[in-house]
Amino acid sequence: MLIPGAIGEILVSARTTGKLTVLDRHGLKAAILDESLSEEEQRSIDRLLRAVVKGRIAVDPPPKTRPPGAADELIPGGESTSPWLS
């Protein structure tokens, strides 16, 4: 179930900051999968996506996370071989 007003908040935030955050993208995905969107909400999402395609709104990259089980192995000399620590 989509929180009422969530799409409007995402649109305002994206236009104000010029960025679409990871949380905004999750909210949009939930909205798109919700089959009860009004025609106005669908058009608003379309406009936002067009702004992203045209470069008017940037998309923040997802945060880097470590893969499960990644070990921080040290090689002689104290340098890490892990790409996550470089």
Identity (one letter) of the amino acid at 78? G
pLDDT tens digits for 43-73? 999 999 999 999 999 998 877 766 665 555 5
Identify the pLDDT of residue 66: 62
Return the C-alpha torsion angle 9, 15, 19, 24, nearest 10.
20
Q: Quick one: what percent of the chain has pLDDT higher than 70?
A: 72
Identify the pLDDT of residue 81: 53
Q: Quick one: what percent of the chain has pLDDT higher than 90?
A: 31
State mean pLDDT over 23-48: 88
